[in-house]
Structure 1
Amino acid sequence: MANKKKKSSALDVKESLEAAKFIVENAKDVTINKENIKHFRTALKIFCNENRENRENSEIFLNAFFRPEDYPDFTEKTVDWLFVFHTLNFSLFYPKGTKQWQAGDSDGYNALSFAIKRAIDEKKPLWDPKYYSKLTESELKHIFRSDDGETTIPLLNKRRMILHEVGNVLLKKYKGTFKNCVKKAKYNQDKLVKLLFDEFEPYRDEAKYKNKTVRLYTKANSLIKDIWACYKKKNMFHLNEEKMMSTIFIDYRSPIVLFYFGILTYSDKLLRKFTNNNQPLKHGDREELEIRACSLIAVNEIFEQIKVEWNQINPEYDRCISIIIDNFLLLYIAEYFHKYVYMYDQYPFHYITSVHY
């Protein structure tokens, strides 16, 4: 690919929460309204009470991230399947007024998950770099065929190029499996973030903001938490909850929920841009960075505000509040916006052209 490899040891770099806080402090078009978090907390309590009534649901929402039904069970192939899924989980929507790509009667990352699972069920080893590093455009188009037979997944050829690139890295350096990347990182989240950044271009989530290099590691964080879920029963993968950021951008529509609750506020200029301009934002654009950083810090603020209160109810919540918040945001999109409001018309949605999330 065109981008030259950048080493993660670069100087004068702000990373993760530090980078997000720096962007929020200097943001021009996106702000966080902490006063409105109380409305979010009320809705979150209702969500938790509803799930606690069902013991099975309670165990799930306390201990695992909600993911599409087409996510695999834990097998020898799961980590490699997840690597392909997260690598391809980017730019899944077309601008407003354009027919959206759908698969399995879903759009976005649910459609992506369905299409990959469908391919595996059809005996296409999409977890194996020996297979996907040689996929042709027509083969990939068939894998991601739409329900209507007309629309195609956005950036199809770009996805093929990325699969070839990451597949060749795995074949040349990691004996053809992403599990060896996890082992090289010694099952440690920080080391795996750095390995992903150094080895695979789609995970180099780096941009310039106010003359500073900022890295939010959005795609890497989502992949790592899913890998943690795979290894959790074996207690092998070391996840530092204090350092991990929210995985809400596994579906980058999540800021719409924060906007709906009034936690995120957009400037009139930005609202007009979303209303009157279908030109997608690009990775590293100032507005794109501000939306992402403010969303991440807003979720962190929600976590801090409810932590003390919830610990008085049940001390075990301290370890799972971030999981609950992420689950609520993702399910709110599915349960509210898809059923009652067609979000693309009613709410400002930042279409993005990026391979990084």
Structure 2
Amino acid sequence: MALTPKESGEHIVKNAKYVRVLPEGIKKLTQEVLAGILDKRIDVSNFSQHDMHPKPTDAYAAEWIFLVDTLNFCFWTPTNYTKYKVNGQTGYFALCAAVNRAIAEGVDITNAEFYSKIDAETLRHIFRSDDGDTAVPLFDKRISCLHEVGNRLLEKWSGKFENVVLAAKNSAKELLTLIVQEFPCFRDEADFAGQRVAIYKRAQILIGDLWACYRGVGLGAFNDLECITMFTVNYMVTRMYYHPP
């Protein structure tokens, strides 16, 4: 059985040989986060204010978030390679742009029935880049993830990730458990120094995105959000909330 992400972090820090956590770095980060909160550069409302993100009133918002976070991994390219771009966006936001473009074109991309059996040609068209030549990284892995999560939603959850969220009954901890149990592609675990450790990066980001999109109410209401690790909180701050002047 894997340690929780919090327990895993402590175990890794205590047993790491080649890296270490600097207390002064943690202090600096907390000061920057606090300053961002006070001057509203970091604010939950910034999620839906971003043009790429759904609004809490969008009927497909929860399914959009699940789809995007299923595919949100490994957009890195070597410095001498052409970056994957969609509508001028790179990385995570290129993914968002591709999904939103598909929706605008009438593709039912957030529907598990559709993406559970999506073929390579269709997905390549959805992911097509601005230059027409640069492919989205790890294409085969991404289509495999879509088939996996889509089929599981259809088998057990009536095709809706929203039903998984409702089953957690406003518990972030329970939702995290459900996500990594039901969808193996979210289960990032490894053996380290005699223990099974868990990071659960995308699973925790998924919960954070729900909370942010719905501003802590409805599908985004969690009574134990503090159980989500600071790793993910920091990622959300830098990726979605932090808007330098």
TM range (shorter): 0.7 to 0.9
The Cα of 1:238 is off from its aligned counterpart by: 1.8
Alpha-carbon contact 1:129-1:171 (below 8 Å) kept: yes
Quick one: which amino acid aligns to residue 330 of structure 1? Answer: R
> Who is 1:120 aligned against?
103
Rounded to whole Å, the distance in 2 between the matches of 1:65 and 1:216 is 26
Alpha-carbon contact 2:173-2:228 (below 8 Å) kept: no
> Who is 2:42 aligned against?
61
1:64-120 CA-partner distances (Å, limit 9, x unpaired): 464752111122211111110000001112233222211121211111111111111
Quick one: which amino acid aligns to residue 12 of structure 2? Answer: I
Rounded to whole Å, the distance in 1 between the matches of 2:160 and 2:34 is 41
> Who is 2:224 aligned against?
240
- Cα gap change, 1:333/1:92 in structure 2, threshold over 3 Å: closer, same or farther? farther
Q: 2:6 aligns with which of 9, 17, 20?
A: 17
Alpha-carbon contact 1:92-1:109 (below 8 Å) kept: yes
1:227-260 CA-partner distances (Å, limit 9, x unpaired): 2234423486324233111364xxxxxxxxxxxx
Does structure 1 residue 132 correspond to structure 2 residue 106?
no
Alpha-carbon contact 1:93-1:101 (below 8 Å) kept: no
Rounded to whole Å, the distance in 2 between the matches of 1:242 and 1:48 is 17
The Cα of 1:207 is off from its aligned counterpart by: 0.8
Q: 2:90 aligns with which of 83, 107, 113?
A: 107
> Who is 2:204 aligned against?
221
> Who is 1:303 aligned against?
none
Greater alpha carbon shift after TM alignment, 89-98 vs 116-125: 89-98
Alpha-carbon contact 1:65-1:326 (below 8 Å) kept: no
Does structure 1 residue 30 correspond to structure 2 residue 19?
yes
> Who is 2:239 aligned against?
330
Rounded to whole Å, the distance in 1 between the matches of 2:148 and 2:223 is 28
Rounded to whole Å, the distance in 2 between the matches of 1:73 and 1:126 is 17
Quick one: which amino acid aligns to residue 221 of structure 1? Answer: Q
1:173-207 CA-partner distances (Å, limit 9, x unpaired): 11111111112222321111111111111111211
> Who is 1:203 aligned against?
186
Number of residue pairs aligned between Structure 1 and Structure 2: 242
Aligned to 1:32, the other structure's residue is in SS state: coil
Alignment of 1:73-88 (within 5 A): 73-74=55-56, 75-88=58-71
Structure 1 unpaired stretches of 5+: 1-9, 53-57, 249-321, 337-357
Alignment of 1:178-327 (within 5 A): 178-231=161-214, 232-234=216-218, 237-246=221-230, 248=232
Taking only aligned residues, the RMSD between alpha carbons, in angstroms, comes to: 2.7
- Cα gap change, 1:33/1:200 in structure 2, threshold over 3 Å: closer, same or farther? same
Rounded to whole Å, the distance in 1 between the matches of 2:32 and 2:236 is 13
Give the TM-score normalised by the residue count of structure 2.
0.87
Give the TM-score normalised by the residue count of structure 1.
0.61
1:21-79 CA-partner distances (Å, limit 9, x unpaired): 11011112211222345555665566456xx3xxxxx3x73334647521111222111
Aligned to 1:80, the other structure's residue is in SS state: helix
Q: 2:76 aligns with which of 93, 99, 107?
A: 93
- Cα gap change, 1:73/1:209 in structure 2, threshold over 3 Å: closer, same or farther? same
Structure 1 vs Structure 2: percent identity of aligned residues? 33
Aligned to 1:207, the other structure's residue is in SS state: strand
Quick one: which amino acid aligns to residue 329 of structure 1? Answer: T
